[in-house]
Each structure stands twice: as structure tokens, then as C-alpha cells.
Amino acid sequence: MHIDLTQGVIKEHIVKLAVPAVVGYFFHTMFNVTDTIFAGMISTQALAALSLSGAIFFMVLAIGIGMSEAVTSLVGNSFGKKDIKKAEQIVLNSLVFAVILSIFLIMIGLFGVPYLVDALGDPSYVAETYEYINPILFGAFLFILAFFLNAILNATGDTKSFRNILIFTAILNVFLDYLFIKIFHLGVSAIAYATLISEAITVIYLFYKVRRTKLWCGFHELKLNIDIMKELLKQGFPPSINMFMMAFGIYIITYFVAPFGKEAVGAFGIGMRIEQIFLMPVVGINIAILSIISQNNGAKTFSRIPETVKLAITYGWVMSTLGVTSFFVLGEFFASFMTSDPLVIQQTSLYLRVAGLASYAFVVIFVYIGMLQGIAKPAVIFPISVYRQVIAPIIVFTALAYFEFGIIAMWIALDLIIFSSALYLWWYGEKKLKLLY
């Protein structure tokens, strides 16, 4: 399937691409929610271990996610220029790139994880953390390949295939978690094994779908192209660093939350899971505008780009309003689905009501990052990510800890950091848009 996004009604294209992506990511989030619920059934230590492991493993995955977004941009621009032969070679070279990247990331992960786990200095759930994260690290290549295969499909306008496999694996994961935890009593490692089985099925299905597109010409046509590899690095490095910094930022927050106890760490993990559910429409919009803007940039139909951005912001803020309202009214109710610990429920609802306000800023961040990637101007993503995820949190949270402020002050400070980042990206993005004309 290939949708020409340089023609037709932009509003319809956004909905057509975003809705399947949102449905897919809903089930992806439900996958994670299922893991959180089953971890909570094991123990509060297991819940905290899953939160910490998720933050650490996401650092490894972040590079793969960012690099895969470069594939969507490059293939989309080639489609816009009607250069199918180049698009075919980008696809083949990107899969080789994905394998090389996977090996590198697994090695880095195995070397770096012990330092990150030990840095938190809380032995109460270290054993459970290793029990989960070690099997997951060895299977990292499955996640990387899935990201790259999905990025190829996104560039053609196909967001339905990923939706379909995410629905299937989310349901399968419930069965596997129950089987491995309740029947075989494998503990936290059961969640890792269930995840790896689901991810292997995802890779097989997505590769099958890529082979059915007009982009697939077979590995026998592969011509290793250093220029394509360099372009993948050039376009993929800024979003990769952005995603890595997001993951590292989660680790930094976990580090500063840890002194408040394992209940606070568990609550932070649950709060993020719930927040992800309400941010899914924004993720879908990000995927849609990256595909739309990439094709229009390649076709030089620049007048369609500002309209795409404006509509995306509008849709995102409507969704954010629904989410923020739900956090205020139903915070405890949402948390109670994932844990029965009253202190964890209380801490989770506090996080949602304060930090959840940043949903509006995340809309601006996601939309303008997607736009900058689409027009092949992603350089600013790196410095703004370093500011938002590392420099500002370390400085601000260290000061709050020094003066012994409570955890609510952390969430307020987090809001301010995210909103300031969004404001800068909006200013910078609008300046780059004007240069297109």
C-alpha cells in the first residue's frame, strides 16, 4: 500500500494515519499495563523493579526508535520525489543498519546496566531488576528490527499493520504473563519471556507486510550504500538523542524519587503508564505528520506543511484537555487498577494531577519534532533534549533535594521544564517553516 500524501485533504490524511496508530499504541500501552498489573501481583519490589528496568531499557531502545524515524523521513522524501529505486535501496540498507545497530546496543546495554542499577543504591529490588532486564537486553535486536520495519510501513502510509500486530500481542501477553507467573511461577523473569515471545511474532509479521509493499525488491538487490548509511546517521542522530534523553530523563527522575521509597518509585512507573494512555493520540499525530510532511517536503508542496502543523496542534490540545480532566477526577481510580497498595495509589494520583498538566506541552514538542524531521532539519532536537531531560532536571532536582522540598515540588518543576522546552521548539519550528517559502 502507498498513499500519496501530497494530494487530498490534510485533515483526512491525519485522521487516516493517526487513528490506526493510536489504536495500535493503545494496545502497546495495554501490553505495558498488563506487565505492571502482574508485577504488582508479585510484590511492591517487583513493581519498583519494573519501573527501574523500564527506564534503563528504554535508553537502549531509544537509539533504535530515533534511528527508525530517520527511515520514515528518508523513504517519505524519496516517495515525494517519485524516486522508487532510491526508496528501495534505503529500505534494504536500513535493515542492514538495524542489525549492526542492534549488536552495538546490546553490547552497550550489557556493559552499562550494572552501573545504572547500582547507582540507585536501593538493594530491596535490585535482584528483581536483574531478573527482568537481563533476558530483555539479549532480545533487544527484536525490538530494533520491529521499529525499523514499522518505520518503512509508516513511510508508505501504512499504520494499520502495526496496529493489527499490537492488538494481537497485547492479548497474547495477558495469556503469557498469567501462564508464566501463575502456573510456572517464574517471577519477574516471566514478564520478560512473555515480552520477547510477543516481539518475535511482531518482527515476523511486519517483515511479511514489508515484503508485500512496492518497496521490497529482495535482498539480492542490496547494494551497500555508505551515503545512505551516513544519511541515516545524520537524520537519525538528533531524534535518537531525543529519545535517549527521554529515557535517561526517566532514570534521572527515578534517581531523585528513590529517596522517597519504593512506593514512590512504583507510583512513578504506574503514573507514566497511565499518562502514556492519554498521550497516545499525540503519538499517533506525530507519526501522521512525519509521514505527511516528509512526502510534501520531497514533492516541494510546502504550502501544505503549516496547515498540517496547525491541525495537529488543535487535535492534540483537545485530547490533552480530556486527559488532564480525567487525571483530576479519576486519578485514584486509574491507579487502583494496577496496585492495591494505598500509598502507591495516593502517590500515583498526585503525579497525575500535577505532572499530567504537561500534556499540553508534549503536544507542541511532538508536533514540532515531527515537522522538523519531515523537512530534514532535526538538528535542534539534540540540544533541546539535553536541556529538557538532563541539564535542567539535574540542576533543579538537586536544588529541591538540598532544600528538602517534597515530591510535589518535583512534579511542579518537571512541568515548568517541559513547558519551557515546548515554547522554544515552537519558536524555532515557526522560524524554520518561514524559510521554506
| Half-sphere exposure in the Cβ direction for 366 (13 Å, CA) | 24
User: What string of DSSP letters covers 230-249?
Assistant: HHHHHHHHHHHHHHHHHHHH
| Run means of pLDDT, 10 residues per run, the chain, 437 residues | 75 86 80 84 80 74 84 84 88 94 89 80 77 90 94 86 92 95 87 95 96 89 92 85 79 88 85 84 85 86 90 92 93 87 91 94 93 86 89 95 93 96 95 81
pLDDT at 208: 96
List, for residues 252-289, the tens digit of each pLDDT value. 888 899 888 888 888 888 898 888 888 888 888 888 88
pLDDT at 120: 65
The x, y and z cell numbers of residue 333, run together, are 481510580
72-106 as b/e: b if 16+ CB within 10 A: bbbbbbbbbeeeeebbbbbbbbbbebbeebbeebb
pLDDT at 347: 93
Residues 159, 24: contact at Cβ < 8 Å? yes
Short-list 145, 152, 194, 211, CA closest to 35: 194
The x, y and z cell numbers of residue 346, run together, are 495516593
pLDDT at 306: 92
Short-list 246, 234, 244, 230, CA closest to 379: 234
Residues in the chain, total: 437
pLDDT at 101: 92
Phi/psi-derived region of residue 341, left when phi > 0, alpha when psi is between -120 and 50, beta in every other case: beta
Q: What is the DSSP letter of 404?
A: T
Question: Considering the entire predicted model, what is its pTM?
Answer: 0.73
Integer Cα distance of 69 and 293 in angstroms: 13
**Could you give the angle at the alpha carbon of 3 between the alpha carbons of 436 and 206, nearest 5°?**
110
